[in-house]
Amino acid sequence: MGVDFRSFDDFDNRYLFYVCEDGSRKVVYPGKINFLSYTPALSEKWAVANIAETEDGGSATMYAKVGEWKWTKLMKGLSYGPQIVNDKIVFYDDYFKAYYCDLSKNPQSVADCIIVNETENEEIRTPVINEDDETEVIYESDISENMSMKCLKIGANGKKEYSLVTDKHESADDVWEGGGFGIKKVTKDSIFYNESLYGNGERDGNACFHNRRTKKNNLYETS
């Protein structure tokens, strides 16, 4: 059956549905839920959602295999920016710690996943898996407000290798106090991101891409 990969909760009955291409619905979570935080991440094989079963019980990050719908709790609390490539998912939590999980190995918690952060004091936002290489994660790194874009390459047996992608912005550095890299999409050739800038009480931003062959940042322009 074809699907359009949308999921939502019906606020009249508080059930979680999977909406098929023909418009039909299937209840995919056992029992009622109180709230669904953010849009679930969905692929042809996997679903990941922030589900609160009760009003005062808090949310949990849950995942299930599409078609089987047997949900497993990865952690208590919300996951942000979950992104799925094949059997791998990456996301970060309230403490800016990011996790890379292989869902095909049926992790029972984030303790079974790989921590993306290089150090304890590194905060991570917008981790994104390379669409052409699921063993690579590009992410925004914040260490004591020093922002950069970094790469994590995950080798055999979970060995981790880190490298700097860029810490430069398209706008003049002397105009802005700092800025971030909101990563949107990663391929073998390019990294697409939103450059956010701040300074002197003002903010600005640019849509950019990083050419991985030339190692240069560019403004993304559309005609």
Task: Give tens-digit pLDDT for 29-68.
Answer: 887 888 888 888 999 999 999 998 887 778 999 999 998 9
CA angle 135, 89, 79 (to 5 degrees): 135
27 occurs within a structural domain? no
Q: 153 in a domain, yes or no?
A: yes
Q: Has residue 46 been placed in a domain?
A: no
Residue 30's pLDDT is what?
86
> Does 30 map to a domain?
no
pLDDT of residue 5: 38
- Specify the pLDDT at position 202: 65
Give the pLDDT score at 171.
Answer: 62
Does 124 fall in a domain? Answer: no
pLDDT at residue 97, as a whole number: 97
What Å distances lie between residue 111 and 18, 100, 101, 136, CA to CA?
Answer: 28, 11, 10, 20
Is residue 96 a part of any domain in this protein? no
Q: 25 in a domain, yes or no? A: no
Global pTM value: 0.86
The number of angstroms, rounded, from the C-alpha of 53 to the middle of its chain's C-alpha atoms is: 23
Position 31 scores a pLDDT of: 79
Q: Residue 178 sits in which domain range?
A: 131-157+166-223
- All residue ranges of the chain with pLDDT < 50 are 1-11, 223
Task: Tell me the DSSP string of 147-202.
Answer: EEEEEEEE-GGG-EEEEEEE---SS-TTT-SEEEEEEEEE-SSEEEEEEEEEETTE
Q: What is the pLDDT of residue 178?
A: 64
What domain count does the chain have?
1
In a domain, 10, yes or no: no
Q: Quote the pLDDT of residue 200.
A: 64
